[in-house]
Structure 1
Amino acid sequence: MAGNPRNGRPYRRLCVQQRALRLPCWICGHEIDYSLTGYAAQRSAWAFTLDHAIPLTRGGDLLDPANARSAHRRCNSARGNRTTRPQTQASRRW
């Protein structure tokens, strides 16, 4: 029985390579706080996460560098498995 591929060395290597690019969040365009590591990174909405342009549930490749994107944890979660970026919601106040 194989383990979780996200715990494997190739996936961790891809995360390190993407993180080293220090790119802004591809979803919102704002800077990512790359100084956050360990537990702080796991808890912060503004920490780096590896996102996939084509979600894995839609056939995207987990280990393809061309599919890897830098994103905030918050933006990545909000986007979910959609192939488009979430639209900012307009205020309900008129």
Structure 2
Amino acid sequence: MTGRTNDARAKRLRARLRAQGLPCYLCGSDIDYDAHHHDPLSFQVDHKWQVANGGPEFDADNIAPSHRACNRTRSDTIDQIAIGAAASYGHTLTPRTATGKRGCATEGPCANCNGAQHNPQPGVTFITHRNWWDKPPNPDMPAAAMAQFGPNS
């Protein structure tokens, strides 16, 4: 993710877009503007030419209303919408699918990420092999506190 901030310009653009009450520009269905922001049918601002791909963040011509689910599905895919939006700014984009946070489009061990697992299991955010119980005990820790770690501590 980029280091974007939730500043006044973004809030003004979001408020202006929300006030229009338009349907999702990606699927054409109505948006539930009163839904909680985690709801898949809630309102989100979508950048036609995604900021992650070099698009302008605060330009009203580069934003449109979308469902949260539609916006997340589209992600940073360079599709016809992004290509058309970039062309209106004088830039040329090449189509490609979404790459994810690290620029990788792979499942399982990834050579680009030192063998990290991308989406190893549903509901698992990351896998680590570090364990607090593998650390040597602190000799300054009182015996009563060490007892909580088991008889071998």
Normalized per residue, which structure has more helix? Answer: 1
Amino acid at match of 2:13: L
For structure 1, the residue ranges without an aligned partner over 5 or more in a row are 86-94
Percent identical across equivalent pairs?
32
May I ask how many residue pairs the two structures share in their alignment? 78
Q: What do residues 30-70 of structure 1 show as CA deviations (whole Å, max 9, x unaligned)? A: 0001122xxxx222000000000001112111100000110
Q: Look up the match of 1:24.
A: 23
Counterpart selection for 2:67 from 72, 75, 78:
72
Preserved contact between residue 33 and residue 46 of structure 1 (Cα < 8 Å): yes
For structure 2, the residue ranges without an aligned partner over 5 or more in a row are 81-153
With a CA cutoff of 8 Å and minimum separation of 6, indicate the structure with the bigger relative contact order.
1
Larger radius of gyration: 2
Q: Look up the match of 1:14.
A: 13
Structure 1 residue ranges, 4+ long, deviating more than 3 angstroms after superposition: none
TM-score by structure 1 length? 0.76
Preserved contact between residue 37 and residue 43 of structure 2 (Cα < 8 Å): no
Q: Please give the secondary structure, in 2, of the residue aligned with 1:76.
A: helix
Preserved contact between residue 53 and residue 83 of structure 1 (Cα < 8 Å): no
Q: Please give the secondary structure, in 2, of the residue aligned with 1:57.
A: helix
Amino acid at match of 1:13: R
Is 1:83 the counterpart of 2:82? The answer is no
Distance 2:34 2:53 in 1: 32
Compute the displacement of 1:15 (Å): 0.3
Q: Please give the secondary structure, in 2, of the residue aligned with 1:7.
A: coil
State the Cα RMSD in Å: 1.4
Preserved contact between residue 27 and residue 71 of structure 1 (Cα < 8 Å): yes
